């Protein structure tokens, strides 16, 4: 079974394309359009969402959400995994909060769906 290609590169969300419904619940607004490597990308559908949590960085036993993850189908048919980091990695990267984790091209994504039992 083909695996998605690991990318791990920042994307640039298009201003005004954020999902305000998610923002109203306290989650980051998934951008419906973004640019990656100079290429415009548009989300057609959200396939699944999840959160990743980690321990408190000041030593308490509490756990905090670190990332909001989204598996989406793009209008090209490709399947992308995007994530939002709640805290920037560094002061130099404070504007880089949305990342493309992986990408599966349209042919591989559709072949996987036809083989997957529902």
The answer to whether 84 and 51 are in contact (CB under 8 A) is no
Contact criterion met (CB below 8 Å) for 47 and 77: no
Torsion of CA 74, 46, 93, 27, to 10 degrees: 160
**pTM confidence score:** 0.80
Helices (H) and strands (E) in the chain, counts: 2, 7
pLDDT at 59: 78
**What is the band of 112 on the pLDDT scale with cuts at 50, 70, 90?**
low
Q: Across the chain, what does the average pLDDT equal?
A: 86
What's the rounded mean pLDDT across residues 90-102? 78
Q: Is the pLDDT of residue 73 over 60?
A: yes
């Amino acid at each position: 079974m083909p695996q998605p290609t690991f990318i791990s590169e920042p994307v640039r969300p298009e201003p005004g394309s954020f999902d305000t419904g998610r923002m109203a619940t306290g989650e980051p607004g998934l951008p419906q359009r973004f640019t990656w490597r100079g290429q415009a990308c548009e989300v057609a559908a959200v396939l699944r969402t999840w959160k990743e949590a980690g321990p408190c960085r000041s030593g308490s036993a509490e756990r905090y959400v670190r990332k909001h993850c989204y598996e989406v189908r793009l209008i090209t048919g490709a399947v992308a995994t995007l994530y939002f980091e709640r805290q920037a990695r560094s002061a130099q990267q404070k504007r880089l909060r949305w990342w493309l984790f992986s990408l599966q091209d349209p042919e591989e994504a559709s072949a996987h769906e036809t083989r997957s039992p529902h």
